[in-house]
Amino acid sequence: MTDCREDIGGLLGISYPIIQGGMAWIADSSLASAVSNGGGLGLIAAGSADADFVREALRRTRALTDKPFGVNVMLLNPHADAIIEMLCEEKPAVVTTGAGNPGKYMAALKGAGIKVIPVVASVALAVRLARNGADALIAEGQEAGGHIGELTTMALIPQVADAAPVPVIAAGGIGDGRGAAAAFMLGAKGVQLGTRFLVARECTVSGAYKEMILKAKDTDTTVTGRSTGHPVRVLKNRMTREILSLESDGLSPEEFEQRMAGTLRAAVKDGDVTHGSVMSGQIAGLVKREQTAAEIIEEIFREVKEIYESRAFICGAGRPV
């Protein structure tokens, strides 16, 4: 417990080793500042926005917290080059990346004094980026919401932790202290949570989106885009039924992109959870109430502490559990 707190806490200047997921359209200055003020690392998501939009969000966040926070750059964004250039000027404490290989940006970001923490979904990319100067890695299993890789968190974390000589932060399927403690047991030094923070009081996502997360059951997510090479985990709705049927009929990647354009924004901003993409992790079934970001963080680490103090002691004493 003290170890995992010190490693990531010391590296990032935060009190608890927890990062908020960089959820496109959702992770804004309100949520990011609340998480950072609560002792974790808040993130602004660049999503598919342009550099000016992200710069404004970053400046608003600076006005709301004096704690470190980060920016997540989704590498499928056509504005990624310009966003990275802007970030090298603005110098947020941390940049995380997702949905691709950030190798070509590493030198510029590191040169600007920014800590770089790429999201990886495989050992191969983890090892390459650790060699290339990544300060830590977020290893994300396919239980996560949004764009996902192939491996589960249970299989991915220990393999990345063994192979990469930098601290590993676990993501995908973590929703409470039990999940966080399990991730630490697998070798993670920190955790990243998205779905649980979706229902934070300071999260500005539409009420209908929050409501759907709060009502979700364990089996309510599905994955769109497997057939076109960009798998995305979302809650099942009319849109997913239609798109999965079209995918099984052989929809082309271009037709898929066209059909999906604007669907995340529709769910997040307009509350259209029937036709929109309600991105969510598999852990949504565990998320049952709205709390402030600080309450969420404190509750999770209270639970972790209780687990460490009870079960670790029993196992250590060699008695049957």
Number of residues that bind ligand TUI (CB under 6 A): 20
By CB under 6 A, tell whether 8 contacts ligand TUI: no
Q: Does 28 bind ligand TUI (CB under 6 A)?
A: no
Nearer to ligand TUI, 203 or 307 (CB): 203
Angle at alpha carbon of residue 279, lines to 25 and 302, rounded to 5°: 90
161 binds ligand TUI (CB under 6 A): no
Which CB sits closer to ligand TUI, 24 or 117?
24
Q: Closer CB to ligand TUI, residue 17 or residue 149?
A: 149
Q: Give the integer Cα–Cα distance in Å for 277 and 75.
A: 19
Q: Is 26 in the site for ligand TUI (CB under 6 A)?
A: no
Report the residue count for the chain.
Answer: 321
Nearer to ligand TUI, 181 or 234 (CB): 234
Indicate the SS3 state at residue 283: helix
Least distance between ligand TUI and beta carbon 27 (Å): 11
Nearest to 279, CA basis, from 139, 97, 147, 174: 147
Position 115 contacts ligand TUI (CB under 6 A): no
Closest-CA residue to 278 (of 321, 319, 220): 220
Instruction: Write the binding mask 74 to 113 for ligand TUI: x where contact by CB under 6 A, - elsewhere.
Output: x-x---------------------xxxx------------
CB of 252 to ligand TUI, least distance (A): 16
CA pair distance 203, 156, nearest whole angstrom = 29
Footprint of ligand TUI on residues 265-304 (CB under 6 A)?
279
- For ligand TUI, the binding residue among 80, 148, 151, 199 (CB under 6 A) is 148
- Residue 201, judged by CB atoms within 10 A of its CB (0-12, 13-18, 19+), counts as middle
- Would you state the structure tokens that stand for residue 243, as one six-digit string? 């798109």
Q: Binding string, 166-205, against ligand TUI, x = CB under 6 A?
A: ----------------------------------------
Q: Closest separation between CB of residue 96 and ligand TUI, Å?
A: 8
DSSP for residue 41: B
Please identify which residue in the block is written with the tokens 């299993």. Answer: 141
Helix (H) or strand (E) holding 95: strand 94-98
Q: Check binding of 27 to ligand TUI (CB under 6 A).
A: no
Going by C-alpha positions, the residue among 6, 15, 18 that lies closest to residue 183 is 18
Sheet holding 137-140, edge to edge: 18-20, 190-193, 168-171, 137-140, 115-120, 94-98, 69-74, 42-45
Does 152 interact with ligand TUI (rule: CB under 6 A)? no
Q: Is 149 in the site for ligand TUI (CB under 6 A)?
A: yes
Positions touching ligand TUI (CB under 6 A) are 24, 47, 74, 76, 98-101, 119-121, 125, 140, 146-149, 230, 232, 279
